[in-house]
């Protein structure tokens, strides 16, 4: 230690003592990040800033690792004191503090200003990594990292002054503005140092710590977070508040999840016109589309599926192995088509007390050749803010179910659109959720179903002879299309 430059910054603590000292803040940071991530995932459209705020709590854990090395007087990645505690402080200030301030700041913007702040938000970890690489000796990393940080803070301050929402007490807004300007100036010597052009003389690391480190820690991270906590900018979307099914399976899913003695009913809804609102009139839909949802049992369907790109292997595994073992959510295997009444289906009434929602209908689909169940869905409806949604639950083992909440709309090409995506209704309940004991988590899955009268379907949704309706069912994982299914729907009994 005595032979090491800066050894006077070291400490002598046993490894066990350091672990005991740091275990509480590490557990607290991990718990805070998990709870914030879960809270973000409960929303129909998780906001990027909420996710980044949760991920920011990984930085205190990294800081604890470096602080443990400093407390025990050991080295980490070849660095000893004072670099161990300097790195720990950078994790807290340039990592956790700066990213948290940016995440909260993003809540205060909208429109194009929000897009700029999102770019700033996602660039923060890049700048942090570049600075860390520069300290490790990677060529040119410092020359990129320090100017990038300075640019981010300058852009953030400009957005705040020009385009942020004016929220909170005036003194809090002034304090936040000051906190955003602090790193613009304190980063100047760091940029000069990175480029080998000192802007003014710094008498060793002590003066750099006082001017650059402490000022940023107190003036930017601490003051900024304190002012934002005072202002409390709201989240972009409320948490999902919709009735959720209690259905689940103990093991393999079968019809018993819907209850015993389910009486047959005609349709998935009694009246599709109940979905009427100012921008959607079901009376504009073709009569056969309305009939399909109100008298579903009168129709049969064929389907073809096309898996996309790298999902082909996963599609084959799901269709041939996992879905049959699960007894639920069956999908066509790559290259397979279910034609000529290969599927049978029936609509049944479901005990509302068992499900937890009202007016629940079950749709059970089977393979005709084997009688094996491939799909058991429980359909219900709910209304929020004047919008009625189709609320579909798929029972899963382990106390779980997957719920798809769909928003209905009328497309310009004549289709009825049922979608979990938010481009048509930005603040709606729609989405795909994993539910356990009434607690939803938004999954990175989406689906859109477009239902056409066969006579008016576009060329990319071909209608087979005898079909009265056709449909295109598109599915996405994290915004990437993985499966498209085409349905041919025809009557098996007259209206």
Which DSSP string do the residues of 405-470 spell out, in sequence order?
A: EEEEEE-TTS-EEEES-SSSSTTSS-EEEEEETTEEEE-SEEEEEEEEEGGG--TTS---TT-SEE
Neighbours of 201 (CB within 10 A): 7
Instruction: Give me the residue label for tokens 């179903």.
Output: 449
pLDDT value at position 215? 85
Locate 77 and state its tokens.
């990645």
Q: How far apart are CA 185 and CA 165, in angstroms?
A: 25
Cβ partners under 8 Å of residue 142, min gap 6: 130, 131, 134, 135, 193, 194
Please name every residue paired with 65 in a beta bridge, in sequence order, or none if there are none. none
E strand segments, 139-231: none
pLDDT value at position 466? 80
The ranges assigned to domains in the chain are: 7-231, 255-491
pLDDT value at position 8? 47
Phi, psi at 487, each rounded to 5°: -110, 140
Neighbours of 293 (CB within 10 A): 23
Q: How far apart are CA 217 and CA 44, in angstroms?
A: 35
pLDDT value at position 335? 82
CATH code: domain 7-231 is 1.20.1070
Q: How far apart are CA 155 and CA 149, in angstroms?
A: 10
Q: How far apart are CA 438 and CA 401, in angstroms?
A: 10
Locate 361 and state its tokens.
């209908």
Q: How far apart are CA 69 and CA 86, in angstroms?
A: 11
Q: How far apart are CA 13 and CA 15, in angstroms?
A: 6
Smallest CA-to-CA distance from 394 within 383, 404, 402, 386 is with 402
Q: Are 305 and 332 in contact (CB under 8 A)?
A: yes
Q: Are 258 and 352 in contact (CB under 8 A)?
A: no
Q: How far apart are CA 230 and CA 249, in angstroms?
A: 46
Residue 400, H or E segment: strand 400-410
Return contacts of 408-415, CB within 8 angstroms, 24+ apart: 408/275, 408/280, 409/279, 409/280, 410/280, 410/281, 410/284, 410/285, 411/450, 413/452, 413/458, 414/286, 414/452, 414/453, 414/456, 415/450, 415/451, 415/452
SS3 content of the chain, % helix, strand, coil (to 5): 45, 20, 35
Question: Mean pLDDT of successive 10-residue segments in the chain (495 residues)?
Answer: 43 72 91 94 92 96 91 84 85 94 93 93 93 77 80 92 86 93 79 60 61 83 94 87 93 86 84 93 91 92 90 93 91 79 85 92 87 90 94 94 96 90 87 93 96 88 85 95 93 76
């Amino acid at each position: 230690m005595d032979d090491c430059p800066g050894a006077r910054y070291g400490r002598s603590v046993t490894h066990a003592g350091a672990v005991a000292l740091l275990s509480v803040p590490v557990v607290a940071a991990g718990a805070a990040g998990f709870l914030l991530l879960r809270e973000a995932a409960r929303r129909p459209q998780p906001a990027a800033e909420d996710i980044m705020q949760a991920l920011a709590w990984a930085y205190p854990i990294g800081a604890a690792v470096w602080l443990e090395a400093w407390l025990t007087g050991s080295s980490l990645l070849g660095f000893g004191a004072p670099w161990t505690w300097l790195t720990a402080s950078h994790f807290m200030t340039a990592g956790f503090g700066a990213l948290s301030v940016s995440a909260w700041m993003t809540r205060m913007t909208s429109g194009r200003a929000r897009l700029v702040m999102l770019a700033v938000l996602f660039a923060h970890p890049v700048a942090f990594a570049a600075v860390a690489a520069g300290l490790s000796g990677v060529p040119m990393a410092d020359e990129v990292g320090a100017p990038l940080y300075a640019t981010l803070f300058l852009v953030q301050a400009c957005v705040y002054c020009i385009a942020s929402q004016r929220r909170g007490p005036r003194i809090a807004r002034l304090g936040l503005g000051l906190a955003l300007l602090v790193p613009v100036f304190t980063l100047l010597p760091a940029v000069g140092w990175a480029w080998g052009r000192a802007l003014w003389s710094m008498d060793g690391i002590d003066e750099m710590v006082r001017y650059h480190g402490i000022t940023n820690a107190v003036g930017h991270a601490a003051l900024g977070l304190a002012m934002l906590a005072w202002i409390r900018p709201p989240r972009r979307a409320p948490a999902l508040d919709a009735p959720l099914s209690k259905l689940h399976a103990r093991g393999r899913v079968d019809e018993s999840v819907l209850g015993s003695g389910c009486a047959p009913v005609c349709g998935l809804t009694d009246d599709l016109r109940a979905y009427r609102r100012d921008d959607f009139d079901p009376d504009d839909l073709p009569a056969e589309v309305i009939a399909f949802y109100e008298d579903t049992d009168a129709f049969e369907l064929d389907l073809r599926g096309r898996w996309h790109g790298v999902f082909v292997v996963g599609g084959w595994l799901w269709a041939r192995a996992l879905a049959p073992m699960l007894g639920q959510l069956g999908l066509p295997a790559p290259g397979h088509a279910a034609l000529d009444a290969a599927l049978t289906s029936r609509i049944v009434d479901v005990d509302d007390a068992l499900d937890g929602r009202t007016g629940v209908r079950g749709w059970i689909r089977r393979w005709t050749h084997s009688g094996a169940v491939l799909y058991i869905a429980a359909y219900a409806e709910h209304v929020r803010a004047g919008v009625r949604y189709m609320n579909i639950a798929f029972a899963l083992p382990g106390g779980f179910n997957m719920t798809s909440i769909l928003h209905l709309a009328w497309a310009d090409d004549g289709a009825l659109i049922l979608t979990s995506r938010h481009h048509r209704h930005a603040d709606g309940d729609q989405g795909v959720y994993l539910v356990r004991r009434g607690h939803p988590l938004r999954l990175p899955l989406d689906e859109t179903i477009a239902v056409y009268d066969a006579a008016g379907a576009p060329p990319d949704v071909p209608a087979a002879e005898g079909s009265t309706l056709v449909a295109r069912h598109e599915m996405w994982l994290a915004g990437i299309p993985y499966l498209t299914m085409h349905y041919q729907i025809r009557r098996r009994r007259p209206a």
